[in-house]
Amino acid sequence: MQNPSATPPEALAPLTRRRFLQSASALTFAIGSAGLVTVSRAGASETTQEDAGTEITAWVRIDTDDRVHLVFPSTEMGQGSSTALPLILAEELDADWDKVEIDQLDRDDRSFGNPIFGNILYTAGSTAVYGYFDSLRIAGAQARRILMRAAARSWDVPVAEVTTEPGAVLHEASARRMSFGEIAALPIDDLSVPEVTEADLKPASSFRLIGSDLPRRDIPAKSTGRETYAIDVQVPDMLFAAVLRAPVEGVSAAGIEDSESLAVPGVLRVLTLPEGIAVVAERLEAALAGKDRLQVDWTGATGVLASDSEATLSDYSAALKNPTAERAVWSETGDADRAIAAADRIVEAEYLSDYAYHAQIEPMAAVASVDPDGLGAEVWVGTQTQTWTTRTITETLGTTADRVRLHAMTMGGSFGRRTALQQEYVSDALLISKEMGRPVKLIWTREDDVKNGRLRPAAAQRLRAGLTADGALSGWEHRVATPSVIAYFNALRWEQVRPKDIVSMRGSESQFYGFADMRAEHVLTGRHARLAPWRGIGASYTSFAAEAFMDELALEARSNPIDFRMALLASNPRGQRLLKRVAEMADWSRPRDQTALGVSFAGYGDSMAAGIAEIALERESGIITVQRFWTAVDAGLIVSPDNALAQIEGGIVFGLSSSLKERITISGGEVEQSNYYDYEILRANEVPEIEIHLERSEARPTGIGEVGTPMVAAAVANAFHALTGKRLRHLPFIPDRVQAALA
Amino acid sequence: MIRLNVNDEEIETDAEPDTALLWVLREHLGLTGTKFGCGAGMCGACTVHIDGVPSFSCLTSIDSLEGAKVTTIEGLSPDGDHPLQRAWIAEQVPQCGYCQSGQIMRAAALLEENDSPERAEILDYMSPNLCRCGTYNRIVKAVQRAAREV
């Protein structure tokens, strides 16, 4: 994507109708969820836009010099959809990819929001490709037809006789050719939007861009240090701010001693914010030094938010058995209770998982420049949602969206971190800028980022299932005691979906197995930490429990873990293929000497993954080493195969890291960890060789950003059992727990 | 005033002597390719070369740099075309990209020491540098590709 500081403002700014009409010759297209909405061109006397006050996003713009600008509606955090989404439209448009330029959508323009999330601008849940797939294709196909129609008219030939090659319309009979840019310069009188149905779209066999390994557009800048993240932004006259936030949610400052802070050369002010104390300085190092010297007397934390994570987890465990605890059925088929009661044997096990932190390497940062009247602002920030960031700005300043100039910056990782309805790193930067009358860069330190993290919740889970006399499954019950994540991080969304919380519960539906009688139930426990979606959301722990339990069941049924799952996948041939494939890849039946294999079959949403981990164990220290990991993945049609492999591999590494090491503990309401030395993530010398088979499919795409993560923990736990005969039922599998299991 | 040599340019800075090199590079000189990740030498996002040695710029105060040569990602190659940078692009290593300047700087030092490193040698050498996106295996491929091309 373009570096915003190097791009003329008009290139990224939304087009008002007036500017739209006055801009240099270009053909522009607006898109909605059903495809193209309007077509306009410079100099046209009319557009189909009715409301002159409406700001129109030129989602597609074809310049007379043949450049095709495509606006990217999601945001980029490393997942690669800033290349993949424009590529889908370019495929149907038959654009010359080398002429395509990609611009970031920097506004809350819901005319082309994410349909999976009710058309808000929201990049999460591995949804961008499949959420936008149909509308991008249809829009691209419509735009292509408009170009063909215009060229045909100018040549005075029937439109049925013209065709396209990348970047041009052809009339083969007369050997004429007109580039898209030349067409954009024509006086086009017919700007109507043609009907296009799915039947008019390219068959997969004709894809030129989809399914090919075109390089990601963002990679050169990221290989040369030239990519600009929010933390890198510099604007003239900018101040720096560091914020000391309350150590425990909900407490406030009873007394502030700031004289030492103000004595630091370059420190200008100490400001009290709604939930913290800001030190503002001419230089970043002064702001940080001033923050270190603040002495704040925080009033004591009370009630549920002053809890300890160990007690929280045992409360959640108790809630599993408490019939009066608040519950919501997440997924149900048949009659699980009856099937389990009728079984020959009942198997039951409980699984625990700790809080986890995103650990994205770019800490929270924002640059804000509030207008002199305090009612408008320019803001540079990484965000997974232009919608909620815009809302944070308008709510903070008491203003309207037309006064917001947002720059949705490429993110240094996010994994769910920047999704919240209210974003305090944005509002703090605004409040400081407004007070100081100058632009401000707000930077969180790593310690700020850990202590004020938005965590994956801790969870206690109980699995219960019946087995018939011949070892077949008879009823499956999955109960998850954990708070609602949505209720905390987006109260507006919770009003719409309550009591079904996909963030807390995803994965527990075990949809790939087609259980005849199953129930997944959410025990809605009290919240004792600040929460957010986290890569894989609920599936990162529900699939751990379900797939570790599946191994326990297989053993109880005296079946091989692969055969047992194969039988349950009888109605899912695609799933069976993956399991068979991964068993071949890992040479599953070959006995190992010092290592052992464990299998898991999980996925994310409709994307399926079968995985096998090979582990070794250092018994004395309790350290598990994962030496190899194999996976076979079916995510439907793959838009960018090489990037899909990278995402799946990254998802597996994320899953391994969290399975083996990552754990947040809370004492007296305060996160006990501070930095990467006590919240360790997987390092290079701990990463296994990873082999991925990606199924070739023409089925609908289903997402690849998270599919690698959920299967991992159970594969490791199951390998541990194969190696030692012991079960690991508490995530992560840190050395203490490994040693305890072995004792 | 403290004098620094950054990417072969002599620079004077009025930053306090104990200021971390990282802040001087990023906020005083605008060399933002070097990243802040942890401030504790735990993530390697701030890795630069000091006299050719990969170093955490977050833990290096500028008053220790008298007479030293500092090289950042911006100075690694004139046009961003160091063999490692070409290999990073060829292997499509970066995802979010935030750690990659530090990764490339450390890998460049590795190749100075060892022109054909094995997988395990690369992983060991690179382990001070975290990548949350999980690009480690691609980093191995890219380092080996660059090693072949040097």
Regarding whether B38 and B70 lie in a shared domain, the answer is yes
Put the strands of the sheet holding A60-63 in their side by side order.
A35-41, A26-32, A60-63, A68-72, A100-104
Nearest chain A residue to B19 by CA distance is: A285
**Residue A695 carries which side chain, given as an amino acid letter?**
E
Interface of A with B in 269-298 (CB under 8 A): 283-285
Regarding whether B26 and B91 lie in a shared domain, the answer is no
Q: Is A236 on the interface with B (CB under 8 A)?
A: no
| pLDDT band (50, 70, 90) for residue A40 | confident
Domain residue ranges in chain A: 9-219, 230-302+364-443, 309-356+455-742
Q: Which of A3, A223, A282 to mutate to test the interface with B (most CBs of B within 10 A)?
A: A223
Q: Which of A3, A229, A361, A384 to mutate to test the interface with B (most CBs of B within 10 A)?
A: A361
Q: What is the CATH number of the domain that holds B57?
A: 3.10.20.30
Regarding whether B65 and B6 lie in a shared domain, the answer is yes
pLDDT of residue A25: 74
Asked whether the ipTM of the predicted complex exceeds the cut of 0.90, the reply is: yes
Pair type for strands B69-71 and B53-56? unpaired
Regarding whether B65 and B91 lie in a shared domain, the answer is no
Q: Is A606 on the interface with B (CB under 8 A)?
A: no
Of B75, B92, B118, the residue that ends a domain is B75
Q: CB distance A283–B133 less than 8 Å?
A: no
Q: Is A651 on the interface with B (CB under 8 A)?
A: yes
Q: Is A677 on the interface with B (CB under 8 A)?
A: yes
Least confident of A4-13, A49-58, A499-508, B40-49: A4-13
Distance separating alpha carbons of residues A133 and A701, to the nearest angstrom: 8
Helices (H), A507-662: 539-556, 561-568, 573-586, 641-660
Q: Looking at residues B26-51, what average pLDDT do you find? A: 98
The CATH code for residues A230-302+364-443 is: 3.30.365.10
Q: Is A676 on the interface with B (CB under 8 A)?
A: yes
Regarding whether B69 and B17 lie in a shared domain, the answer is yes
Distance separating alpha carbons of residues A491 and A498, to the nearest angstrom: 10
B40 contacts on A by Cβ (under 8 Å): 446, 675-677
Q: CB distance B99–A689 less than 8 Å?
A: no
pLDDT of residue A37: 87
Residue A683: which of B39, B101, B130 has the nearest Cβ?
B130
Tell me which of 3.40.190.10, 3.30.365.10, 3.40.50.970, 3.40.50.10490 is the CATH number of domain A309-356+455-742: 3.30.365.10
| pLDDT band (50, 70, 90) for residue A46 | very low
> In total, how many domains does chain B have?
2
The H or E element spanning position A10 is: helix A9-12
Instruction: Please write the tens of the pLDDT for every residue from A71-107.
Output: 999 999 999 999 999 999 999 999 999 999 999 999 9
Tell me the CA distances in angstroms from A593 to A121, A205, A616, A687, one per residue in order: 52, 46, 10, 21
SS3 A67: coil
Instruction: Please write the tens of the pLDDT for every residue from A271-286.
Output: 999 989 999 999 999 9
The CATH code for residues A9-219 is: 3.30.365.10
Of B75, B106, B122, the residue that ends a domain is B75
**Owning domain of residue B118:** 83-149
Q: CB distance A285–B15 less than 8 Å?
A: yes
Q: CB distance A219–B92 less than 8 Å?
A: yes
Regarding whether B95 and B45 lie in a shared domain, the answer is no
Instruction: Please write the tens of the pLDDT for every residue from A96-150.
Output: 999 999 999 999 999 999 999 999 999 999 999 999 999 999 999 999 999 999 9
Instruction: Please write the tens of the pLDDT for every residue from A569-593.
Output: 999 999 999 999 999 999 999 999 9
pLDDT of residue A300: 67
φ and ψ at residue A689, rounded to 5 degrees: -70, 135
Q: CB distance B20–A653 less than 8 Å?
A: no
Q: What is the CATH number of the domain that holds B119?
A: 1.10.150.120
A418 contacts on B by Cβ (under 8 Å): none
**Residue A430 carries which side chain, given as an amino acid letter?**
L
Any idea what the Cα angle at residue A19 is, between residues A15 and A23, rounded to 5°? Answer: 105
**Does the pLDDT at position A42 exceed 80?**
no
- The contacts found for A143-149 with CB under 8 angstroms, 24 or more apart, are A143/A29, A143/A36, A143/A39, A143/A60, A143/A62, A143/A89, A143/A93, A144/A92, A144/A93, A144/A94, A145/A194, A145/A196, A146/A27, A146/A29, A146/A39, A146/A191, A146/A193, A146/A194, A147/A27, A147/A62, A147/A180, A147/A183, A149/A190, A149/A194
CA distance B67 to chain A (A): 23
Q: Looking at residues A225-239, what average pLDDT do you find? A: 98
Q: CB distance B94–A675 less than 8 Å?
A: no
Q: CB distance B23–A226 less than 8 Å?
A: no
| pLDDT band (50, 70, 90) for residue A302 | low
